[in-house]
Amino acid sequence: MRSALIFVVLVLVVDVSVCQVFGKGKCPAVTVQQTFDLQKYLGDWYEVLKFYVGFEDNTKCTKANYQLKEDGHIRVDNKGLSLKDEGKVIEAVGDAYIPDKSEPAKLLVKFAEGIPYGNYWVLDTDYTNYTLIYSCKEVLGLTHAEFCWILSRERTLAPETQQKLYQKLTGFGVKTDNFLKTEQTGC
């Protein structure tokens, strides 16, 4: 039994280790956008700010494209340019869906077969300018790993919009000093 528990803890630690934003205790209690229209959300979004995640390390010009598939799921196509191999496109194609139609802003997403879906929660969007995405995974109630992105329909975002989204996150107890700016020049 003890070895099984150690194995589970090891799997959880490895699962969240691609994320560098850890916190003590449980995930902050956040609320998603109450009304969410997937059709308005589809299309291109540029990454403006993010919490550090290993799978996006050394990239710039990161862009996500969301397209509805015939089965009702969403094709998620993330692309960025490598900072190490100049001009090389780094791409990750994933699958997302809304598991509970009564909470359409709580999506699940994954980027590889054999791994579980992770949370992709839309905390706020106006569909034409910005979106605020959050995900958090708890590890045995002792610690948690957070992911957060601010995307825009353009490669930049107005400072007042960024400040509004920071205030929303701060109200939930999410530390906005974890954000890193995504380079969106020379794309």
> What is the CATH number for 167?
2.40.128.20
Radius of gyration of the chain (CA): 17
Given pLDDT bands bounded at 50, 70 and 90, which one contains residue 83?
confident
Is 30 among the domain residues?
yes
* Number of structural domains found in the chain: 1
Is 46 among the domain residues?
yes
What are the strands, taking DSSP E only, across the chain?
A: 22-24, 43-51, 59-68, 74-82, 89-97, 106-110, 118-125, 130-139, 143-152, 179-181
Q: How do residues 168-184 score in pLDDT, each as one tens digit?
A: 999 999 999 999 999 99
Is 29 among the domain residues?
yes
> How far apart are the C-alpha atoms of 87 and 109, rounded to whole Å?
27
Chain mean pLDDT for the chain: 86
- Would the pLDDT of 109 be above 60? yes
Mean pLDDT value of segment 12-39: 72
CA angle 43, 97, 67 (to 5 degrees): 20
- Would the pLDDT of 80 be above 70? yes
- Would the pLDDT of 46 be above 70? yes
pLDDT of 15:
40
